Each structure stands twice: as structure tokens, then as C-alpha cells.
Amino acid sequence: MIGGGFGGLQAVQTLRRAPVEVTLVDRRNFHLFQPLTYQVATGALSPGEIAYPLRSIFKRSRNVQVLLAEVSGFDLDARRVLLDGVDGIPAPPSLEYDTLIVAGGSRYSYFGHDDWRATAAEVKSLESALIVRSRLLSAFEAAEEESDAEERAVWLTFVVVGGGPTGVEMAGQIAELARDTVRKEFRAVDPRSARILLVEAADRVLTTFPPSLSAKAARSLERIGVTVLTGRAVVGIDDEGVTIGGDGAEPERIATRNVVWAAGVTASSLAARLAELTGAELDRAGRVTVEADLTLPGHREVFAVGDMVRLSDTVFPGVAPVAMQQGRYAAAVVADRLRSRKTGPFHYRDKGNLATIGRAAAVADIKGLKLSGFLAWVTWLVVHLWYLVGFQNRLLVIVRWSFSFVTHGRGSRLITNLPAQAREPQGLADRRR
């Protein structure tokens, strides 16, 4: 099993009681609950509360082994996965298999502008979320020390690129951080004067939701101080600002040192590798096309699931329930084969869409039932707690959220300068020289 994310975890959990030996390979030693990484990026939760060690999850499953290693390729004819060590930790050069399930996920794509990545960090990985956290919090510190009003405004301008659920959630959280959490903590600067912009190229935010919920989400964002710019595409990002075009208008320059990237994703490079080896099609988002039973063409022993796959006639939404259902399905096919039973094709059961905007504000579209406001927010809380891995994490997050709700605080607002990862905000660096 490659990948201990949402798809991989479900596959291995389903296989725990089957008469099989499972090796779970991941380049991280933990399962990450990506839907809440943006809360780490804004200091609401700590990394340990949304991540759980893979070895700990499977400590009682005698037929499951965990291996920390990076998958660098496949030899499908020899039925081998090729491995590299991670950060100097040794790993075997390859691993044999009878059946292979690949769930490598996806990563953010910068639409061919990889140079934007250094300035506009994303919140998909824990490492990057911590960089975003340091930059957001550093911006308030820099503004406090800045005597020039224009420069101070630059520090207090935050741009979130991409109006999907992550962008909406990030913008909402930054607004709450500025207007609520740190409101009384600075002396020279009023954090409430922060400008938070959410830039979306489509004509509305949350395009996977019904238009009425997109409109409600945009209104909720505006209410908490976020400026929503739809129909506007980001055409340039550098250390001193963002250039946005679109709507037939002249490109507009926004001076800022805080840009968060929450736009398009592309599949794991493992999808391209599998496509190359099997002749399967690869779509523009880098997803490999699998058969109706999620196997690769000509290789019924190789399954691929989650964010990195599609069917020839269906593109699934890039959400956790798809990966989880596919992981469970692939494992069920493996178990059925052992009992010489046939399994029908994979069908996705869509349970709905949720996005939170901020304190007691969210939107939900559950099988046509449209919810917004407090009820949607409670639904969002319950669903996220339900799927969070580990009883201890669930308990910790309930306590954190309850405490934050009452005190308006955020318990994890640390500026941690991660060497080599944290890019020091330019202005701060200049000042120190």
C-alpha cells in the first residue's frame, strides 16, 4: 500500500482482518488530516492535533507493517516498488508485492508559475502550513514596528488566491485572527485595519456548491471584513505584491507581503509514472485514468485510488470521501478475490459538500439540502470531529474549539522559524541587515 492518507488508511484498515500481509509505505510517519491544516496555519490548532503516527494507528494489527520511505518508481513486470530513503533514513531499494494499491494524493499546482511557490505558500502540507503561520503572525509584528503608514498597510494586507473551500476558510480565519483574536494585543497598530482579499478567477466563490450558497458564503466573508474579488485572476506574484487581471480591467497591483495559495491542484507524480508504464491516459490535472474496478489497464493487480485517479467518463471531486470510499473498495476487491468472489464496479456515494467561513458560519449542501449559518457550522464541526483520526485528537480538538469559542483565542500562535523552510519576510530581513 503506497500512501497513508485518506485512501491508503481506509484500504489498510479494511485489510486488517483479511488473510493478507500489508506493508504501508509513506514518506511521512504520520497520517495528516488535511481538511484542518488551515487551522494550523492560523494558530487555531497545533500540528499534533491533526496528525497521527501511522505506526500507532496500526500497532495492534499484526499483519500490517509500516515503512517510512519515498516511492520513486515501479517495476510492474517484476512486481516491485522502487524506494528511496527519506532525510537520510535508510530504506530498502525495492519492495515486492502481489497486489499494489497506490494512493499518492495530489499537490498544489501554480499553473506553470513554480516561482510563485516561494512567496505564496500553500496549506496542504503541515510544513507549509507552519510557514504560513509564521508569516501571518510575523506580519502583525512587523506592522507594529513600522512607523510609515503606507508600509504598515502593506504588512497588513493579506491576499488569498483561490475561492474554493480552502481559500474561503483561510480568508475567514485570517479575518478572525485580525479582527478578533489579536485585536487588543498590539499597541501601535490596530490589527482590525488589516485588509484581507480573496481572489477567485470564476464568477463566484465555492463553485462546487449551488450558487445560492456561494452568494451566502461571499456575504458572510464580507461581513467579517474579507473583500471578495471574483472574476479576477492572479497574473503575477512577487515578494512585494500581487498583480491581478481579468474582468476586462487593467491589471491591478496589490502591495502585500502575505500571499496564501489555495488555487488548483495537480495529482501526485506517481500517477504520471503509472500512466507511462501502463499506457493509461493522463488528464490535464495529472490524474491517471483507471478501469471501473480502479485497476490499471492490463494490470489487475495494481489499483490506484484517491486524488490521483479518474475514470474515463467520470472525474470525482478531490475530496476525502472519494479517496476513503475508493480505498475501502480496492481493499474489498482484494478480499473478494481471495474468496473467489466477484466485485461490481466502483460507485461513489456523494454525501455532500461542506465549507466553513468562520465563527458559527458555514455552508452545507447535503443531498440537495442547503444549510447555512449556525446549523451548517455545527454540521461541519461534527463531521470533521467524526473523521479525525485518533480518540485523543478528537478530544483535544473539542477542548481547543470549545475554549476558542468562549475566549475568542487561538492556542497555537507561535512564530517558528524553520531553518531552510521559512522564508524570512523580506522587509524584516532588510531591517535586520
393 binds ligand FAD (CB under 6 A): no
With b for 16 or more beta-carbon neighbours within 10 A and e for fewer, the 69-102 pattern comes to bbbebbebeebbbbbeeeeeeebeebbebebbbb
Helices and strands: H and E segment counts in the chain: 13, 25
27 binds ligand FAD (CB under 6 A): yes
Catalytic one of 122, 146, 169, 176: 169
CA distances from 217 to 209, 349, 355 (A): 10, 25, 9
The residue among 383 and 415 lying less far from ligand FAD, judged by its C-beta, is: 383
The residue among 244 and 319 lying less far from ligand FAD, judged by its C-beta, is: 319
Q: Exactly one of 275, 320, 363, 376 binds ligand FAD (CB under 6 A); which one?
A: 320
Give the closest residue to 25 by CA, choosing from 97, 88, 124.
97
306 binds ligand FAD (CB under 6 A): yes
167 binds ligand FAD (CB under 6 A): no
Residue 177 amino acid letter: L
Q: Exactly one of 319, 362, 363, 371 binds ligand FAD (CB under 6 A); which one?
A: 319
User: From the CB of 186, what's the least distance to ligand FAD, in Å?
Assistant: 28
User: From the CB of 83, what's the least distance to ligand FAD, in Å?
Assistant: 8
CA distance 392 to 401: 14
The residue among 103 and 137 lying less far from ligand FAD, judged by its C-beta, is: 103
Tell me how crowded residue 151 is: count the other CB atoms within 10 A of its CB.
Answer: 15
286 binds ligand FAD (CB under 6 A): no
CA distance 168 to 161: 10
166 binds ligand FAD (CB under 6 A): yes
User: From the CB of 273, what's the least distance to ligand FAD, in Å?
Assistant: 9
User: From the CB of 428, what's the least distance to ligand FAD, in Å?
Assistant: 26
35 binds ligand FAD (CB under 6 A): yes
The residue among 70 and 283 lying less far from ligand FAD, judged by its C-beta, is: 70
The residue among 117 and 183 lying less far from ligand FAD, judged by its C-beta, is: 117
CA distance 171 to 163: 9
5 binds ligand FAD (CB under 6 A): yes
321 binds ligand FAD (CB under 6 A): yes
161 binds ligand FAD (CB under 6 A): no
Find how far residue 317's CA is from the centre of its chain. Answer: 13
Binding mask 53-92 for ligand FAD (x = CB under 6 A): -----------------xx---------------------
The residue among 192 and 351 lying less far from ligand FAD, judged by its C-beta, is: 351
First to last CA, the chain: 49
105 binds ligand FAD (CB under 6 A): yes
358 binds ligand FAD (CB under 6 A): no
User: From the CB of 147, what's the least distance to ligand FAD, in Å?
Assistant: 36
User: From the CB of 18, what's the least distance to ligand FAD, in Å?
Assistant: 20
CA distance 316 to 213: 21
Q: Residue 284: CB partners within 8 Å, gap ≥ 6?
A: none
Residue 9 C-alpha cell reads as 488508511
Residue 17 C-alpha cell reads as 482482518
| Total site size for ligand FAD, rule CB under 6 A | 33
Give the closest residue to 366 by CA, choosing from 385, 387, 384, 380.
380
Residue 170 C-alpha cell reads as 483561510
361 binds ligand FAD (CB under 6 A): no
4 binds ligand FAD (CB under 6 A): yes
Residue 313 C-alpha cell reads as 467518463
37 binds ligand FAD (CB under 6 A): yes
User: From the CB of 261, what's the least distance to ligand FAD, in Å?
Assistant: 10
**169 classed as catalytic:** yes
The residue among 152 and 287 lying less far from ligand FAD, judged by its C-beta, is: 287
Q: Exactly one of 167, 191, 286, 318 binds ligand FAD (CB under 6 A); which one?
A: 318
Strand partners, 82: 73, 94
The residue among 155 and 377 lying less far from ligand FAD, judged by its C-beta, is: 377
Q: Which long-range contacts (CB under 8 A, 24 or more apart) does 358-366 make?
A: 358/172, 358/173, 358/175, 358/176, 358/220, 358/224, 359/176, 359/180, 359/405, 361/172, 361/220, 361/224, 363/206, 363/209, 363/213, 363/216, 363/217, 363/220, 364/213, 365/209, 365/210, 365/213
Active-site amino acid positions: 169
Residues lying near ligand FAD in the complex (CB under 6 A): 2-8, 25-28, 34-35, 37-38, 70-71, 103-105, 123-124, 165-166, 268, 270, 306-307, 318-321, 323
